[in-house]
Amino acid sequence: MKNLFQNVLILIVTLMCFTGRSFSQDSPAFGYTQYMAVDYSSPNIVYSATLGQGLLKSTDYGESWGLICSRADNNRFHVVKLDPQSPSRLFAGGVKSGVLLSTDKGSTWKQIGLPNVTVCDIAIDETNPSRIFVLANEGVYSNERVEHDEWKLSFDYFKFVADFAKTNHPVFDKNETTQRGRPGKRSLWGYSRFQKIAISPHDPNTIMVAARWEGGYHRSDDGGKTWRHETLSGIYRRVDEIYFHPKDPNIICVGTHHQGLFKTFNNGKSWVPQSDGLRSQRRLPYYGAYLISGFAADNTNPDIFYSGSDYSNWKSTNGGASWQELDKSLTCEFVRTMAVDPRNPNIVYAGSNVGMFKSTDAGKSWRSINVGLSKVKIIKTISVTTADGSWQYALSEQYPFVFRKSGDERWKSFSWLLAEYGAKIGKDLYYDDTAQQLVFVSDTGNFTSDDYGYRWRGKGSEILFATVKSDVKELKLSNAPDLTNNYAFTIGLTGDVFFNDALVDSLYRKPPYISLQIVEEGYPYNGTVPIWRINVDDCLIMTIEVHKSLIDPSKKYILYAEVRDFQKNYKTASATLHCVDNAIVPVSMELHDGFCLKKAK
């Protein structure tokens, strides 16, 4: 009876998934793209998982799209992955879809397990593609031989949450109670489409999965039999994205929700921030978000990264040590997925909440590639000609509100952050010749653009950081330091830093905010591990003791401090450590924006 039920499900899914058909784009089109994948054997083939328009496929490098899988009950797909050894095999999933499999590059599909389970992400073992791990709302499912073995819940996330709550951590419970005066939502604890799972290409027994409001990440080193919860330097940071370096097993990068990128050079034993150059979305006068979203690396150069965020889109050419903003021709602030052509790294794709984009010059310029996506209902079009050029604009009542094209260009969304500013209905669009501004009229007021629609100003658009500085507190030892067995230091961290959590959302009030570490000279790039580390809630002055057995007199050590800053993301400081017997050594360290431990040239 069970097999009959599964066969019926397979038949239903197969009937609803069909070969692609192409469309022309004679008017603006868009679609929320959650994931994109390029066929490594035939890079002209690109797949796209969308929220609301099913699974799409392109056979012409994204220039046009056809539908390959549509579900009558729910067309919200989260992921599509290629078998790393057989590109004809695809695995996909989304909202209550279970795991779907195609063996003919998307022409037909069947469900191979977990019916009615929402699939957030899929990880495939490169050494054994029949071994699959699936991230779902309730945790991680695994199957050692898909289509042969039963699926099992390898990581019961809700059980972890229940155990986590027993250690006096505030959590939202399943009864929708309140926490710190706000409504409780169990959905905040279930996994969503933004969290990822990954298997190490160097050791298939090592699996990492993102976290939710517990922060950090979860890791297994025994093939998913057991899991442990890890943090990033002991400070609350929520991991979403995970990237294993393809050549160096000690290097892993994780993208966090609102705190940028972090990197380990010692296989996860310690982490350092790698977000210099990123700018925040200013959510409040007291809070800036540094989201890493849609992270992708260049297969031909694994130190070239691309990422979206909640504010703009970014590229790094040195493994995350510094970032540069991508050209504003990528006109979407919410890129959710990026993919690099495995053979031609100049071709980069970006999928967003307003459609898909393509660059053929490694991110220097972008154009829209939405042929085949849903057409937008347009209520007004205008033409604008100035000394800078001529454009056509189109207005929609619903987001994305504004589109633009010139000559033979395709229509592209020019609705940068308008929904974030509170606009819900587009009412009018015109060009003010006197002010030389494009004007968008919404239900909440007018927004103006001085650069023909790339950026908008209006109500809610100009959030400035308040000038704040946290009070200096001192952490004192309860007893006099043991100078016989220990070295002692009085640390004074100076410089403007803000971690007064009373001014931010209660969800982010999670001390400690300071990490203090003793590291060898050359850290982190030499792969060493801190010999000593502590976390402190919010004290910038403290006396510490370090046991003398930890110090090797033949080595040079650095005292490294990392502080969570709610506006500037993080601040760091370092000082050479000088050990003196029978004395408390004062150490002054000035905090600066960015990561202070630079790689020697």
Residue of higher predicted confidence among 85 and 599: 85
Do residues 373 and 64 touch, judged by C-beta distance below 8 A? no
* pLDDT score for 164: 87
| CB count in 10 Å sphere of residue 83 | 18
| Per-residue pLDDT at 460 exceeds 90 | no
Q: What spatial distance separates the first Cα and last Cα of the chain, rounded to whole Å? A: 67
- Look up tokens 């000035």; give the residue: 590
| Per-residue pLDDT at 438 exceeds 90 | yes
Per-residue pLDDT of 126-163, as tens digits, reads 999 999 999 999 999 999 999 999 999 999 999 999 88
* pLDDT score for 527: 97
Residue 481 carries which side chain, given as an amino acid letter?
Answer: P
Per-residue pLDDT of 320-329, as tens digits, reads 999 999 999 9
Contacts 24+ apart (CB under 8 A), 194-197: 194/240, 194/257, 194/293, 195/120, 195/121, 195/135, 195/240, 196/121, 196/135, 196/240, 196/241, 196/242, 197/121, 197/122, 197/123, 197/133, 197/134, 197/135, 197/140, 197/242
Per-residue pLDDT of 248-288, as tens digits, reads 999 999 999 999 999 999 999 999 999 999 998 888 888 88
Question: Domain locations in the chain?
Answer: 1-156, 376-458, 474-593
Range 17-56 burial, b when 16+ CB lie within 10 A, else e? bbebeebebeebbbbbbbbbbbbeeebebbbbbbbebbbb
* pLDDT score for 384: 97
Q: List, in sequence order, every residue forming a beta bridge with 489; answer none if it has no partner.
A: 544, 585
| Per-residue pLDDT at 23 exceeds 50 | no
* pLDDT score for 169: 60
* pLDDT score for 162: 86
Residue of higher predicted confidence among 309 and 347: 347
| CB count in 10 Å sphere of residue 380 | 14
| Per-residue pLDDT at 4 exceeds 50 | no
Task: Tell me what the mean pLDDT of segment 163-191 comes to.
Answer: 55
- Residues 57 and 69: their CA atoms lie apart, in Å, by 9
Residue 338 carries which side chain, given as an amino acid letter?
Answer: M
Looking at the chain, the whole-number percentage of residues with pLDDT higher than 70 is: 92
Per-residue pLDDT of 9-20, as tens digits, reads 443 444 344 433
**φ and ψ at 453, to 5 degrees?**
110, -5
What class has domain 1-156? mainly beta
**φ and ψ at 4, to 5 degrees?**
-65, -45
Residue 396 carries which side chain, given as an amino acid letter?
Answer: S
Task: Tell me what the mean pLDDT of segment 497-514 comes to.
Answer: 90
- Residue 178's pLDDT band, with cuts at 50, 70 and 90, is very low
Domain 474-593 has CATH 2.60.40: yes
Task: Tell me what the mean pLDDT of segment 377-406 comes to.
Answer: 97
- Residues 199 and 268: their CA atoms lie apart, in Å, by 14
* pLDDT score for 185: 46
- Residue 186's pLDDT band, with cuts at 50, 70 and 90, is very low
- The residues, any chain, with a CB within 8 Å of residue 454's CB and separated by 6 or more, are 328, 331, 414, 416
| Per-residue pLDDT at 6 exceeds 70 | no
Per-residue pLDDT of 532-575, as tens digits, reads 999 999 999 999 999 999 999 999 999 999 999 999 999 999 99
- Residues 304 and 319: their CA atoms lie apart, in Å, by 6
Is residue 377 packed enough to be buried (19+ CB in 10 Å), middle (13-18) or exposed (0-12)?
A: exposed
Nearest-10 Cα torsion for 293, 359, 329, 317: 60
For the beta sheet containing 514-520, the strands, ordered from the edge strand earlier in sequence to the opposite edge, are 532-536, 514-520, 557-565, 569-576, 592-593
Looking at the chain, the whole-number percentage of residues with pLDDT higher than 90 is: 81
DSSP-assigned letters across all residues of 329-393: TS--S-EEEEEE-SS-TT-EEEEETTEEEEESSTTS--EE--TTSEEPPEEEEEEEEETTEEEEE
* pLDDT score for 346: 98
- Residues 335 and 293: their CA atoms lie apart, in Å, by 7
| Per-residue pLDDT at 174 exceeds 50 | no
- Residues 371 and 22: their CA atoms lie apart, in Å, by 8
* pLDDT score for 281: 85
| Per-residue pLDDT at 73 exceeds 50 | yes
User: Shortest CA distance to 400 belongs to which of 412, 411, 382, 415?
Assistant: 415
The mean of the pLDDT values for the chain is: 91
* pLDDT score for 168: 60
